[in-house]
Structure 1
Amino acid sequence: MARTTAVLLGRLIFGCVFLMATYFKFTGMEATAGYIASIGFPLPLVFAWLAALFELALVVAFFTGILFSPAAALAGLYVLFLAFAFHGPATWTASQMEFGLFVDHFSFFAGLMFAAAHGPGDKLVIKWPR
């Protein structure tokens, strides 16, 4: 019972974190594109939409268990990319908080890798593809 509760709670937390990120992107797509442009990425609006849609797919995977392990692994790689792209060493001199945000991404990455390795559990999971 404790394992099932922990797994479901972890899935809920992962799903909610990405749901909030998705919500902020969809409700502030121009701001997201501006943030992406600030690090020199080309086509910032295109990447903002791709990020929002990717995060929405992660929400579905975490809440339903569909393709959970590959989604968790991809989410981990995405989180590492975000750490280096937006909070990497070049930002640390401007703000000590950026270093904290950088490090926080690694604990999130670790949780996602653990989730990818152990799967969605056996409760409240949609098995797909069959």
Structure 2
Amino acid sequence: MGRTIAILVARLIFAGVFIMALSFKFMDMQATAAYIAAAGFPFPLFLAWVAAFFELGLALAFLTGIFFSPAALLAGIYVIFLAVSFHGPGRWAGNQAEFGFFIDHFTFLAGLLFAAVHGHGEVLVFRAGQARPPSALTQ
């Protein structure tokens, strides 16, 4: 029972982090685009929308268990991309807290890699067979 609870809490934390991130984007997409532009990326508004919908997909994967392991791996790649792009070594001299933000992304990566390898657990997981209408089950 403890393992099941730990897995569910971890999934909720992963989903919660990405839900918070996408919420901030949807609340002020222009501010997100400005932050992306400040990091030197082209098409910042487009990238902000892509990031928001990507984070929505990750949150749904963590909440439902659908494509859980691939989503955890993609989330890990995304998290390290964010660490390097927005909190990388070029920002440490101006603000030492940026180093802490950079390192925090690696601890998040560790959890995502662990989740990718060990899977979504056995409860609160959407399975395609459960989505069939009752008439299809009797055929």
TM-score by length of 2: 0.91
Partner of 2:103: 103
- Structure 1 unaligned residues grouped into runs of 5+: none
- Structure 2 unaligned residues grouped into runs of 5+: 131-139
Partner of 1:59: 59
Cα 1:34/1:114, change in 2 over 3 Å: same
Kindly, what percent of the aligned residue pairs are identical? 61
Runs of 4+ deviating beyond 6 Å: none
Once the two structures are TM-superposed, the CA of residue 128 in structure 1 deviates from its matched residue by 4.8
Q: How does 1:1-130 map to 2 (within 5 A)?
A: 1-128=1-128
Once the two structures are TM-superposed, the CA of residue 127 in structure 1 deviates from its matched residue by 2.4
Aligned 8 A contact 1:66 1:128 in 2: no
Aligned 8 A contact 1:88 1:102 in 2: yes
| Cα offsets for 1:73-107 (capped at 9, x unmatched) | 00000000000000000000000000000000000
Number of residue pairs matched by the alignment: 130
Q: Matches of 1:78 and 1:8 in 2, distance apart?
A: 22
| Aligned-residue RMSD, C-alpha | 1.2
TM-score by length of 1: 0.97
